[in-house]
């Protein structure tokens, strides 16, 4: 088992990934109320990880607090998400450039390499299963947060936090729109190769290259979402009325 920094328990991460994908695919549409019990039954898990996941999804901008209790699904547009992901690439590019210019600490490199080992472990089979999505999401979020932390800039951290309130904009917010596991594996493999190259650039102190790589690294997130389909998803296609209470 890898010792990379874990952000949350695996059941909560699994719940986050599944609910994000339900919203992305239009299975939960804007204005629909999300209830713990039927959602837990549908996903085949206990209510606890669902209860833990819903406030996180609200922070990501996918859900809004209901005026009485619980949460409802928020609407979103493809244009907003594209802009937010591109903006994340710019801000994280600034962060990684600052780290490279200052010189990455040995502790950071060790932690990033633990993330690389975890990603390699997930992908070494040559394919991924549904359970691997949550594990990769944990690793990916940790990788990005480590670099932002090392930049030691409250302004960068705050800008990313605000930007992350746009649905699917944050590095932890992995979701796939009706994707085959083969395509998921290809996206993960490409993005993780970028992780390796970013770490190499940091080790060498190649600030401009690291910044350029981090900006490019935002693109697989847009591809994984199949963004042309987001507008129809935002209109609430294929609602699951059993989730609404």
pLDDT tens digits along 16-53:
888 888 887 778 888 888 988 889 988 888 899 999 99
Question: Full-prediction pTM beyond 0.85?
Answer: no
**Contact between 220 and 179 (Cβ < 8 Å):** no
Q: Report the pLDDT value the prediction gives residue 200, as an integer from 0 to 100.
A: 98
Residue 48: CA count within 13 A, CB half-sphere? 5
Domain boundaries of the chain, sorted by first residue: 10-76+230-243, 78-228
Average pLDDT value for residue range 149-176: 85
With 50 as the cut, is the pLDDT of residue 242 above it? no
* pLDDT above 50 (res 57): yes
The reported pLDDT for the residue numbered 66 is 82
- Give start and end residues of each alpha helix (H) in the chain: 10-24, 36-43, 47-59, 78-102, 106-123, 130-151, 154-163, 181-204, 207-216, 219-225, 230-234
Nearest residue to 28 via CA among 59, 74, 67: 74
The whole-number pLDDT of residue 137 equals 86
What pLDDT score was predicted for residue 3?
59
DSSP 164: T
Q: In whole angstroms, what is the distance from residue 94 CA to residue 150 CA?
A: 12
At residue 180, the pLDDT reads: 77
Average model confidence (pLDDT) across the chain: 84
The pair of three-digit structure tokens given for residue 197, joined into one six-digit string: 């190259």
* pLDDT score of 235: 35
Query: According to the model, what pLDDT value does residue 226 have?
Result: 64
What is residue 74's predicted lDDT score, i.e. its pLDDT? Answer: 86
Question: Check: CATH 1.20.120.530 for 78-228?
Answer: yes
Question: What is the pLDDT at residue 231?
Answer: 45
**Per-residue confidence band for 240, with pLDDT thresholds at 50, 70 and 90:** very low
pLDDT band at residue 69 under the 50/70/90 scheme: confident
Q: Is 185 helix (H, G, I), strand (E, B) or coil?
A: helix
CATH number of 10-76+230-243: 1.10.10.10
Question: What is the rounded CA–CA span in Å between residue 4 and residue 54?
Answer: 25
The pLDDT value given to residue 1: 41
Could you give the 3-state DSSP secondary structure of residue 183? helix
pLDDT cut 70: percent of the chain above it: 85
Question: What letter would DSSP give residue 69?
Answer: S
Short-list 129, 123, 134, CA closest to 19: 134
Higher pLDDT, 177 or 211: 211
């Amino acid at each position: 088992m890898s010792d990379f920094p874990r952000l949350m328990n695996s059941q909560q991460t699994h719940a986050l990934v599944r609910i994000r994908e339900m919203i992305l695919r239009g299975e939960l549409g804007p204005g629909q109320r999300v209830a713990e019990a039927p959602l837990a039954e549908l996903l085949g898990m206990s209510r606890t990880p669902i209860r833990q996941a819903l406030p996180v999804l609200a922070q990501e901008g996918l859900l809004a607090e209901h005026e009485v209790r619980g949460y409802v699904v928020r609407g979103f547009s493809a244009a907003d998400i594209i802009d937010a992901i591109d903006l994340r690439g710019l801000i994280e590019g600034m962060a990684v450039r600052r780290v490279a210019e200052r010189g990455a600490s040995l502790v950071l490199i060790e932690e990033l390499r633990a993330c690389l080992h975890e990603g390699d472990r997930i992908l070494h089979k040559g394919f991924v299963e549904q359970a691997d999505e949550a594990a990769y999401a944990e690793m990916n979020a940790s990788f990005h947060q480590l670099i932002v932390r090392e930049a030691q800039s409250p302004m960068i951290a705050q800008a990313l936090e605000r930007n992350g309130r746009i649905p699917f904009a944050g590095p932890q917010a992995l979701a796939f729109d009706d994707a085959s596991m083969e395509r998921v594996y290809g996206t993960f493999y490409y993005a993780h190769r970028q992780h390796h190259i970013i770490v190499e650039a940091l080790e060498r102190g190649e600030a401009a290259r690291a910044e350029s790589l981090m900006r490019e690294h935002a693109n697989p997130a847009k591809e994984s979402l199949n963004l042309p389909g987001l507008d129809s998803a935002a209109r609430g296609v294929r609602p699951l009325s059993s989730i609404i209470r």
